[in-house]
Amino acid sequence: PVRVGQKVPNFEMETYDPSTGKFGKVVLEDLLKERKWVILFFYPADYTFVCPTELADLAEKYDELKEMGCEVISVSTDTKFVHLAWHRDEPLLKNVKYPMGADPTGQVSRLFGVYDENTGLALRGTFIINPEGVLVGSEVNFYNVGRNADELVRKMKANVYLMSHPEEACPAKWEPGKKT
């Protein structure tokens, strides 16, 4: 698996895109050509319980993250057909606008070290890739501990700030506007 500080090899996934209601495809290289930051948000499975609250929580930050230059993609090992169905059925996902990636072969999940060979599902892992294609942050929680989207936004801000101020460092709990 790729580790923090390394270049991420290219990958692609089929997606269901709730903003258009269509099936599509996401390719890392294409996003990097647009100088995007990429956030991958893995979760175990559609039609389960913790997952929609995490996805809904993330949905609320989507606009803010987009403005920072991020593309957000949620990923599970379900198919795009199931993503479509779940998004239609589950009220909590109403505000989800980011593309939902389908990784039924588990190749992308294996690339980031979150594929569980026993269950065929992905662990709850969040990964930040910078516009150079380097993995700059990872967070993995074992099964049922949910993630905090506020903290993700905080880290993205620090990363973006450091990208344009490479000679500085962001201390603990740093928030933009604070002195580094």
Residues designated catalytic: 51
Give the separation between CA 53 and CA 46, rounded to whole angstroms.
12
Closer by beta carbon to a copy of itself, 131 or else 137: 137
Q: How far is the CB of 156 from a copy of itself (least distance, A)?
A: 10
Q: Which of 42, 46, 65, 72 binds a copy of itself (CB under 8 A)?
A: 46
Q: Smallest Cα–Cα separation from 134: which of 163, 174, 109?
A: 163
Give the separation between CA 38 and CA 140, rounded to whole angstroms.
17
Q: How far is the CB of 131 from a copy of itself (least distance, A)?
A: 13
Report whether 22 contacts 41 (CB < 8 A): no
Give the separation between CA 88 and CA 97, rounded to whole angstroms.
12
Q: Is 4 one of the binding residues for a copy of itself (CB under 8 A)?
A: yes
Say how many residues make up the chain: 180
Q: Is 67 one of the binding residues for a copy of itself (CB under 8 A)?
A: no
Q: How far is the CB of 12 from a copy of itself (least distance, A)?
A: 12
Interface of this chain with a copy of itself, residues 81 to 140, rule: CB under 8 A: 81-82, 84-86, 89, 103-106, 113-114, 116-121, 123, 125, 134-140
Amino acid identity, residue 6? Q
Please work out the total of residues on this chain that contact a copy of itself, with binding judged by CB under 8 A: 68
Give the separation between CA 124 and CA 141, rounded to whole angstroms.
5
The residues, any chain, with a CB within 8 Å of residue 61's CB and separated by 6 or more, are 149, 150, 152, 153
Closer by beta carbon to a copy of itself, 9 or else 171: 171
Q: Is 141 one of the binding residues for a copy of itself (CB under 8 A)?
A: yes
Segment (H or E) for 138: strand 135-141
Count CA within 13 A, CB hemisphere, residue 88. Answer: 10
Q: Which of 34, 142, 177, 179 binds a copy of itself (CB under 8 A)?
A: 142
Binding stretches for a copy of itself (CB under 8 A): 1, 3-5, 45-50, 53-54, 56-58, 77-79, 81-82, 84-86, 89, 103-106, 113-114, 116-121, 123, 125, 134-151, 154-155, 158-159, 162, 168-174
